[in-house]
């Protein structure tokens, strides 16, 4: 029987590094997508995955056993991404939109038509530009809600913000994104 | 409507928003526009992206990084040991020196000031690190507000041809009060950061004084001033420096 996330966390807390393998196997793709949605840079996102699991190991002893592991990892990943984004904001200003083609051979789902892929690529480019216009925390709120589908309470806890601030920030971020994405049809 | 579109509302909040959308044509348009954003996000290639490295290679990197940090932590004793050991040593020297019979009277007084110096040094380092952290947090939060002000403004719901900066004005006031409480600009190590902190605070004061529904020209004046001062870049450089 597969060990549960909680069992793996308990093993990590006792210093058993072997528990990292199954934990990463289960969560690394999700953590990567959160980091990628935020940072829009594959290398930065991969580094974020690495740091997330290093921090998870180092913080396992302080993990609240009643909490779910997936949101806890998402919280570490997005906070790391905010930090990376702020530190490298000048460099990331030249961030290039993700190329769907480059992901082609690694995309898990059934291959979409060339037209759909071209449209997705454009959507990806425009979303990257729209996210780029948001302040660091609004960007994190959008990623956690739209990509990670966290509820607002979880987002507030993850980012150490008040619930009301999360609501108003999400509202403002989406309004801003609507302006930036104007003219692009889904 | 944005919150309704993202599915972030439930229970009575969701019911109230739906009822409102039914009765308000402009709100329905608003809802549809928000739904379009969500649909576009649904086509973002990021959703299907896989990490460039296989999990085994990532795991090896993580293990190596952990080993590296543990090795780096091992040779040095914890910080409290670094503080307490010299203190204990100084105390021991003081005791031995006091008890040892000496043909000539020797001044033993310096031992006490030395203990005090070591403890004061540790305290000073801690205070200095906290002061830098507080300044970095203040600058980062201020930059978030100023980036919003500098980017394309949103139309104000209440007044036509005006821009909505209510949230930014509120956050600016909050940050200015926080700065007064937490950011110690009079410390010597903050001397280099003082001009940037001053510029940022002045800019926040301008934003704080804005009407929640401001005229676009007012915002444009602030944007020009920020651009002239290269304020966002200065904040980046200063936070980088303060973080060492």
Out of B2, B45, B240, the one facing A103 most closely (by C-beta) is B45
- In percent, how much of chain A has pLDDT > 70? 82
Residues 64-123 of B with CB under 8 A from A: 65-66, 69
Report residue A121: phi and psi, to 5°. -65, -45
Q: Read off the pLDDT of residues B33-73 as tens digits, 9 standing for 90 and up.
A: 888 888 888 888 888 899 988 899 999 999 988 888 888 77
pLDDT at residue A180 in the model: 84
Beta bridge partners of B156: none
pLDDT surpasses 60 at A144: yes
For residue range A75-96, list pLDDT tens digits in order. Answer: 999 999 988 887 765 444 444 4
Cβ density class A77-104: b for 16+ within 10 Å, e for less: bbbbbbebbbebbeebeebebbebeebe
Residue A92: the pLDDT is: 45
In the structure encoding, which two tokens stand for residue A28, read together? 């690394």
The pLDDT value recorded for residue A28 is: 96
pLDDT tens digits, one per residue of A12-68: 999 899 999 999 999 999 999 999 999 998 999 999 999 999 999 999 988 888 788
The span from the CA of A113 to the CA of A110, in Å, is: 10
Number of residues that make up chain B? 244
Q: What is the mean pLDDT of chain B?
A: 78
Output the pLDDT for position B100. Answer: 58
Cross-chain residue pair A167–B38, CB shorter than 8 Å: no
What percentage of chain A exceeds 90 in pLDDT? 37
Q: Which of B3, B52, B243 sits opposite A171 (nearest CB)?
A: B3
The residue in chain B having the minimum alpha-carbon distance to the alpha carbon of residue A84 is B240
Coil/strand/helix, residue B155: strand
- Partner residue facing A28 (CB), from B34, B38, B58: B58
Show Cβ contacts of residue B178 under 8 Å, excluding neighbours closer than 6 positions.
Answer: B138
Do A161 and A176 form a contact (C-beta atoms < 8 A)?
Answer: no
**φ and ψ of B78, to 5 deg:** -60, 160
Profile chain B (244 residues) by mean pLDDT over runs of 10 residues. 78 83 82 83 86 90 87 65 61 60 54 66 80 84 80 70 83 84 77 88 89 84 84 82 77
Q: What is the chain A residue with the closest CA to B146? A: A135
- Whole-model pTM? 0.62
Cβ contacts of A28 on chain B, cutoff 8 Å: 51, 55, 58
The size of the A-B interface in CB pairs under 8 A is 163
Mention every residue, 6+ apart, whose C-beta is less than 8 A from residue A33.
Answer: A147, B46, B47, B49
Q: According to the model, what pLDDT value does residue A110 have?
A: 46
Angstrom distance (rounded) from CA A171 to CA A167: 6
- Separation CA A85–CA B51 (nearest Å): 19
Q: What per-residue confidence (pLDDT) applies to A149?
A: 86
B34 touches chain A (CB under 8 A): yes
Residue B202, CA distances (Å) to B24, B172, B222 in order: 41, 10, 11
């Amino acid at each position: 029987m597969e060990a549960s996330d909680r069992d793996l966390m308990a093993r990590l807390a006792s210093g058993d590094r072997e528990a990292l393998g199954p934990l990463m196997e289960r969560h690394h793709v999700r953590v990567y997508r959160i980091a990628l949605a935020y940072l829009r840079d594959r290398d930065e996102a991969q580094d974020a995955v690495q740091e997330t699991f290093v921090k998870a190991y180092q913080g396992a002893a302080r993990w609240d056993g009643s909490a779910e592991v997936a949101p806890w990892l998402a919280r570490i990943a997005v906070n790391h991404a905010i930090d990376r984004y702020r530190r490298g904001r000048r460099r990331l200003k030249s961030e290039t939109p993700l190329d769907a083609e480059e992901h082609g051979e690694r995309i898990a789902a059934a291959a979409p038509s060339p037209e759909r892929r071209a449209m997705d690529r454009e959507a990806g480019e425009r979303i990257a530009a729209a996210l780029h216009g948001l302040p660091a925390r609004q960007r994190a709120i959008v990623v956690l809600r739209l990509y990670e589908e966290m509820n607002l309470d979880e987002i507030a806890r993850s980012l150490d913000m008040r619930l009301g601030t999360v609501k108003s920030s999400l509202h403002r971020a989406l309004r801003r994104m609507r302006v930036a994405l104007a003219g692009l049809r889904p | 409507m944005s919150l309704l579109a993202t599915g972030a509302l439930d229970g009575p909040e969701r019911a109230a928003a739906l009822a409102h959308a039914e009765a308000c044509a402009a709100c329905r348009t608003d809802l549809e526009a928000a739904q379009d954003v969500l649909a576009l996000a649904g086509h973002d290639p990021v959703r299907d992206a896989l990490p460039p490295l296989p999990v085994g290679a990532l795991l090896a990197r993580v293990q190596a990084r952990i080993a590296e940090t543990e090795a780096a932590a091992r040779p040095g004793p914890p910080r409290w040991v670094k503080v307490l050991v010299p203190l204990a040593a100084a105390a021991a020297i003081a005791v031995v020196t006091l008890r040892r019979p000496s043909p000539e009277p020797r001044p033993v007084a310096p031992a006490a000031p030395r203990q005090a110096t070591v403890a004061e040094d540790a305290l000073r380092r801690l205070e200095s690190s906290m002061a830098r952290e507080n300044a970095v947090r203040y600058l980062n939060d201020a930059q978030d507000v100023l980036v919003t002000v500098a980017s394309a403004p949103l139309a104000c719901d209440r007044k036509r041809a005006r821009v909505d900066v209510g949230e930014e004005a509120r956050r600016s006031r909050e940050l200015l009060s926080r700065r007064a409480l937490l950011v110690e600009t009079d410390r010597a190590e903050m001397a280099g950061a003082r001009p940037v902190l001053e510029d940022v605070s002045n800019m926040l004061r301008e934003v704080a004084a804005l009407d929640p529904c401001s005229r676009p020209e007012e915002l444009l004046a602030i944007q020009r001033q920020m651009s002239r001062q290269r304020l966002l870049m200065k904040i980046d450089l200063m936070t980088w420096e303060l973080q060492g």
